[in-house]
Structure 1
């Protein structure tokens, strides 16, 4: 598996994010389960797409700057047909390295109460539960995590 940094509007990334929105709508029964401002090309600092050995885009993830030392992990997603093969860990490791390269010392993230696989990934990767922050305060579906880099 190889991870490439891509522009936010990369067609492969757009397809993966569209699939993520469909899956989240199915899990939560609404198209509006994320209370945050949707990421855009203007505010995404880093966006990556992972490809399998055949070159097929299978996973993505992004970083959004909070301040000079902190960032937020956004839009982590692995195509369901490719889950269980380590793509999420590869993307997460790549994003954490990009964050370190930017001089960031901490990453935060929000995931949902119905995303048990994501919770397992983050907890097993050293992320600790934190109080909801920013737009996630008061959200019944939000679980927030942080990791010191």
Structure 2
């Protein structure tokens, strides 16, 4: 999606440890983490942990400052969208659409048959966004089977 607000926006592939990517993930953790802190403490390990070596792509959106982040990783033959985040002042500008499109393009370039993702039950705005973006609900998939309130989605690319 491109509109007057995203006309000058750009999404750039970066390394997982890129300073802007790290800062955006930290902001996401600070915003979303408290919503799920009690739930995550009850689990033996954090299913949302992302090992840098498992990442297949990391992207930062600029408009003109660092506005958002998304990463992708392989998960059992699918590409999984991880760490999708847009800074509050850039929400509603189309930045999330640009980031998700970059993730989907990268997944196609990797010949992935579909893209999957998980979002928490305390993020209804994310659920609406993914449904609006053509994603459909699927059963919980590993490693999220221990989070029964999770929302899992997929979008076929072929």
Fold match by TM threshold 0.5? yes
Give aligned pairs, total. Answer: 146
1:70 aligned residue (75, 78, 83): 78
For the Cα contact (< 8 Å) 1:59–1:91, is it kept in 2? yes
Quote how far apart the aligned CAs of 1:44 are.
0.3
What is the correspondence of 1:28-67 to structure 2 with a 5 Å cutoff?
Answer: 28-30=36-38, 32=40, 35-52=46-63, 55-67=64-76
1:16 aligns with 2:24: yes
State how far apart, in whole Å, the 2-side matches of 1:17 and 1:103 are.
27
Instruction: Give the TM-score taking structure 1 as reference length.
Output: 0.90
Task: Tell me what 1:136 maps to.
Answer: 144
Mind listing any 5+ residue stretches in structure 1 that lack a counterpart? Answer: none
State how far apart, in whole Å, the 2-side matches of 1:122 and 1:130 are.
12
For the Cα contact (< 8 Å) 1:24–1:31, is it kept in 2? no
Mind listing any 5+ residue stretches in structure 2 that lack a counterpart? Answer: 1-8
Instruction: Give the TM-score taking structure 2 as reference length.
Output: 0.85
Q: CA RMSD in A?
A: 1.8
For the Cα contact (< 8 Å) 1:7–1:41, is it kept in 2? no
